[in-house]
Amino acid sequence: MNFLRGVMGGPSAGLQPSGAETIQKLCDRVASSTLLDDRRDAVRALKALSKKYRLEVGVQAMEHLIHVLQTDRSDSEIIGYALDTLYNVISNDLEEEEQDDSEEENLPKQVDDLGSQFTEIFIKQQENVTLLLTLVEEFDFHVRWPGVKLLTSLLKQQGPQVQQIILVSPMGVSRLMDLLADSREVIRNDGVLLLQQLTKSNAAIQKIVAFENAFERLLDIITEEGNSDGGIVVEDCLLLLQNLLKNNNSNQNFFKEGSYIQRMKPWFEVGDDNCGWSAQKVTNLHLMLQLVRVLVSPTNPPGATSSCQKAMFHCGLLQQLCTILMATGVPADILTETINTVSEVIRGCQMNQDYFASVNAPSNPPRPAIVVLLMSMVNERQPFVLRCAVLYCFQCFLYKNAKGQGEIVSTLLPSTIDATGNSVSAGQLLCGGLFSTDSLSNWCAAVALAHALQENATLKEQLLRVQLATSIGNPPVSLLQQCTNILSQGDKIDRRGSKVQTRVGLLMLLCTWLSNCSIAVTHFLHNPANVPFLTGQIAENLGEEEQLVQGLCALLLGISIYYNDNSLENYRKEKLKQLIEKRIGRENFIEKLGFISKHELYSRAAQKPQPSFSSPDHMMFDHEFTKLVKELEGVISKAIYKSSEEDKKEEEVKKTLEQHDNIVTHYKKVIREQDQELEELKQRVNTLTSQNEQLQATVTQQVSQIQQHKDQYNLLKVQLGKDTQHHNSHSDTFQMNGIQTEEASRLKEELEEWKSKHELLQGQLREKDSVIEKLRSSQLEMGTTEQSSQTNKSGGLELNNELQKELEMLRSQIQLQSAEISKLQTENQKLQVMNTTADPVSGHSGATAVNNSELEQEIKELKSEVKALSEEKESLKQHLDSSSSTVAILQDEKTKLQQEVAESKKEQDDLLVLLADQDQKLSALKIKLKDLGVPVEDEDDIESGDQGDEDEDGDEEEQD
C-alpha cells in the first residue's frame, strides 16, 4: 500500500521516486504478478501516468501492455486499461497536455515524431495489428471503444503500412465495417472516423468497404441525423463518402448502379426562408455539393460522367440544384459551390444543357437563368469567386453544345435583337462586359464569347455580321473592328484592374475567332491598321508584363498567315512572311510566340477546365485556349519558315491529296454502301432460308398428320364395318322397326312415282298409235297414181321412219320401266313380308331397344367423324399444294439473291483493286511531302479521323 500511495501521489516518508522509477516498478509488477488484480492495478496506474510521462511509458511499458492484450483477454477491464494506455502513448492529441508557453513552438514536431516512432514499434510485429482487429470485434464497450481509437491513431501515424496489414489480414476490413451497425452512437461515430483514415488513398480498401454495403449504411446515418441539418456526424459520413468515390471509377459505377444518386435529392431541399443557416449546415451542404461534383468531375471517364449526369436529371437532382441556384437568402459560398456543381452536371450533356436553358429566374418578368448569371458575371460589385463560378457555368453550358452556341450568337445578330429594349439578352450582356471599363469584366466576356465560337466555323462567319453603334451620327462598326480598335488603344482608356488583362482577353477572343476560319481572317486583314499594330507590338522590347501580350500578338499574326486563303493581294501569305522577316525577324517572332506556353499562368490554366485563380490579377488564360495554343504553336512555326515555292508545292500537294482523299472517301462510301447491301442481302437469304426450312418442316409435319388421319380413317372404317356386322347379327328387331321401315316407305313413294310415269308413257303411246292409224288411212286414200303421189309418198315414208324409231325408243323405255316396277314390287313384297314377320316379335324387343338406340347414335357419330376427316383431308391437300408453290417461289428468290451477291462481290473486288492503285499514288505523294518537310498524318490517323472530323475536313477544303 505504501508503494501505491507513492505512485498515486499519497504521503510517504523519505524521497519521492521519479516518474521513470515508478513506471519501471509498475512494469515489473505487470510482468511478474500472478494475481490478475495486481496486474490490473498496475496497468491502471500506467494509464494514469501515460499522459504526463508519455515517453517513459511508451519505452518501458509497451511490450508488457501488448503481452497483457495477448494473455488477459478474459478480463475486459484490464484490456480496456491497456488499450487506453497505448492510445495515450501513440496519439498526438495535445488537448490534455500541460506544457509551458516557451516550449510550444518546438513541441508539435517533437510530438509528431514521438507518435510516429511508437506506432512504428507497435506495427513492426504485424500480429499486434491483427490482435487489435480481434479486440475490436468484442462487444464490450470498455474494449471496443478504446480499440477503435487506438486503431484510428495508428492509421493517422503510419497509414499506408497499417492499411497493408489490415488488407492482408483475413476479414480485416469486414470486421471494421461492423462498427457502422453498432447501436452505441459513440462507437459508430468513431467507427466512421476510423474508416475515414482507413480508406485514404487506397483504392483496394475503398472497393472492399464499398462492397461491404458502406453506401447504404452511411446514407442511412445521414438520413437519421437529419441530412444537411445534422451535426458533425453527417460531416464525417460525407467525408468518408468522398474518400470512397473520389478518383475511384469502380465505386462511382457501383454508387450509380445501386440507385444511391436518387437518395441524394432530399439533401438539397431548401425552404423559402434561407436566413440564419448554422455553420454546421453550411459545412454539410458544401460537402454534399462536393460529393455531387465528385460523381460528374471532368477528370472522370466520359462514359461514367455521362451516365451519372443522366441519372441526376431523371431523379430530379439537377432540378433541385437549379432551385437552390435561383433561391434567395442562400449564403454566398453555398451559392458559388452550387453554381460550380450545376456547371459540371450539365457539362457536355445535351439533355441537361437543354433543361438549364429552359430554367427561368423567379422575377417579374421572368428571365432565363443564364441571363441572370451573366448579369452577375459582368457586375464588378459581385465577389470574385462568384464571377469565376458563373464563367465556368457558362463555359460548361456551351461545351459540346452547338445548339446553345447558336442561341447565344443569335442574340447578337441584327435580325433577332429586341428593338424595344424591354429585355436584356445574353449577347447584349456579353458585349456590354466586353466594352466596359472593368478589366475583369472585359476578360470574362471575351472568354465567354470565345466559348460560343469554339469549334463552330458557321457561327464564326455569322458573328462577322454583328454591327455595333458607337456614337450618335457615326456609322456602325462590326464587332471584329471594335475589338481591334479597343486593342489598339491599349492603355489610353482608363480601366479598373489589370492593364494587361483586357488585351489578353481580346487577343484570346480574336485568336479563337480567326482560327480555322479563312473568311474571318480576310475580314481582319481587310483593316489596314491591324497588321502594322501587330508587328509593332511584337517588334518592341517591353517589360515582363507586356511579353504575354507580345506572344498573343505573334499567335494572332501567325493564325492570319496559316489560315490565309490569299484572297487579299496586299496580305498574301508570302508578303506577310516577308514583313515578319524585315520588321521582326523569324527567330525573334518564334521566341515571342514561345512566351505564351512558357508562362506560369498558362501552365496553371492547362491543368483543369474550372477557372480557379487566387486573385483577379492571375486571371489570364482559359483552359480551352491553352489547347488551341498547343495545337497551333508548332504549325505556325513551320509555316513561318516555309518559302513561297514550298507553299505552292504544299498547296498543290494538298489539293492533290484532297482530290485523292475525296476519291478514297467516295470509294470508301461506295464500299460501305455495298457492304451494307451485301449484309442486307445476306440477311434476306438467311431469313428466306430459315423460312424455307420452317415451311419444309411444316410440310413434313402436315404430310405425317395426313398419313395419321388416313390411318385413323381406315381404322374407323374397319371399326364401322365391324360395328355394322355386330349390329346386323344382334339387332334384327332394330332393323325391322327402324331403318327398313323408313326404306319401305321410301320404296313405296318411288313405286308410286314410277307408276305415274308408266301411265303417262302409256298415254303417250296410245296417242302415237292413233297418229299412225290416221297416217295409214290417209296413205290408202291418197295413193291413186305414182306421179301425183311421189312427193306425198316420200314424205310419208320419212315421217313413218321417224315415228317407228320413236316408237321403238318408247317401247324400250317402257320395258325398262316395267322391269324397274317389277323389281320395286318384289322388294315391296319382301318388305311387307318382313313387316308381317316383325309384328309378333315387336312386343318382346323392349330389352334390346336401348342397345339399338346406342348403336344408332354411335353409327351417326362415326359417320360424322368420317365426314370431318374427309373434309380435313381435303383442306390438308389444299395446304400442301399451297406450301409446295411457296417453296418453289422461295427457291426462285434464293437463286436470284445468290446471283446478286455474286455480282456485288465481283463489283467490290474491282473497287478494291482501284482503291489499291489510289493508295499507291497516295503513298508516293506522302513520300514527296515528307521529303519537302511537310508533316503527313499516318494512315491510321486518317482512318480514325475520317468519320469523327468530316465537318473539319469540309472547312479545310473551303479555306484552301
Q: What is the pLDDT of residues 643-653, one digit of tens each?
A: 666 666 666 66
Q: Are 43 and 85 in contact (CB under 8 A)?
A: yes
The C-alpha cell at 285 is 451542404
- Residue 468 pairs in a beta bridge with 477
pLDDT at 499: 75
More confident: 81 or 813? 81
The DSSP secondary-structure symbol of 299 reads T
Identify the pLDDT of residue 614: 85
Q: Is the pLDDT of residue 189 over 90?
A: yes
Which range (65-69, 89-93, 155-159, 731-735) has the least confidence? Answer: 731-735
DSSP H or E stretch at residue 27: helix 19-32
- Between 263-272, 277-286, 800-809, the lowest mean confidence (pLDDT) is in 800-809
Closest to 158 (Cα-Cα) out of 121, 210, 208: 121
Return the pLDDT at 657: 73
Higher pLDDT, 83 or 826: 83
Phi, psi of 174 (to 5 degrees): -65, -35
Any idea which of 86-90, 112-116, 743-747 has the lowest mean pLDDT?
Answer: 743-747
From 590, 529, 518, select the one nearest 560 (Cα to Cα).
518
pLDDT higher than threshold 60 for residue 773: yes
> Which phi and psi angles does 327 have, rounded to 5°?
-75, 160
pLDDT tens, position by position, 528-571: 999 999 998 898 877 777 888 999 999 999 999 999 888 888 88
- How many Cα atoms occupy the beta-carbon half-sphere of 774 within 13 Å? 8
Residues of the chain with pLDDT > 90: what percent? 39
pLDDT confidence of residue 494: 65
DSSP string, 820-839: HHHHHHHHHHHHHHHHHHHH
User: For residue 743, is pLDDT > 60?
Assistant: no
Query: Quick one: pLDDT at residue 9?
Result: 45
Amino acid at residue number 389: A
Give exposure, 131-160, as e/b (b: 16+ Cβ within 10 Å).
bbbebbeeeeebbbbbbbbbbbbbbbbbbe
Asked if the model's pLDDT at residue 788 lies above 60, the reply is no
Q: Lowest-pLDDT range, 307-321, 385-399, 705-719, 927-941?
A: 927-941
Give mean pLDDT, residues 251-280.
87
Read off the pLDDT band of 843 (50, 70, 90).
very low
Amino acid at 585: G
pLDDT at residue 690 tops 50: yes
Q: How many CA atoms lie within 13 A of 515 on its CB side?
A: 24
Q: Determine contact, residues 745/824, Cβ cutoff 8 Å.
A: no
Q: Which helix (H) or strand (E) holds 467?
A: strand 467-468
Indicate the pLDDT class of residue 140, thresholds 50, 70 and 90: very high
Return the pLDDT at 350: 95
Alpha helices in 296-331 (DSSP H): 302-314, 317-326
Do 355 and 318 contact (CB within 8 A), yes or no?
yes
Q: How confident is the model at residue 115, as a pLDDT?
A: 84
Task: Say how many CA atoms lie within 13 Å of 176 toward its Cβ.
Answer: 32
Given this model, what pLDDT does residue 491 score? 62
What torsion do the CA atoms of 819, 822, 828, 833 make, to the nearest 10 degrees?
-130
Containing 680, the helix (H) or strand (E) segment is helix 644-730
Identify which has the larger pLDDT, 734 or 239. 239
Least confident of 84-93, 348-357, 770-779: 770-779
Q: Which has more pLDDT, 528 or 891?
A: 528
pLDDT number for residue 445 = 95
C-alpha 128/C-alpha 146 separation (Å) is 15
Mean per-residue pLDDT of the chain: 81
| Amino acid at the residue 936 | V
Q: What pLDDT shows up at residue 877?
A: 62
Per the model's pLDDT, the better-predicted residue between 4 and 323 turns out to be 323
pLDDT at 343: 96
Asked which of 416-420, 459-463, 872-876 is least confident by mean pLDDT, the reply is: 416-420
Residue 677 has pLDDT above 50, yes or no: yes
Contact assessment for residue 561 and residue 553, using Cβ atoms and an 8 Å cutoff = no
pLDDT higher than threshold 50 for residue 171: yes
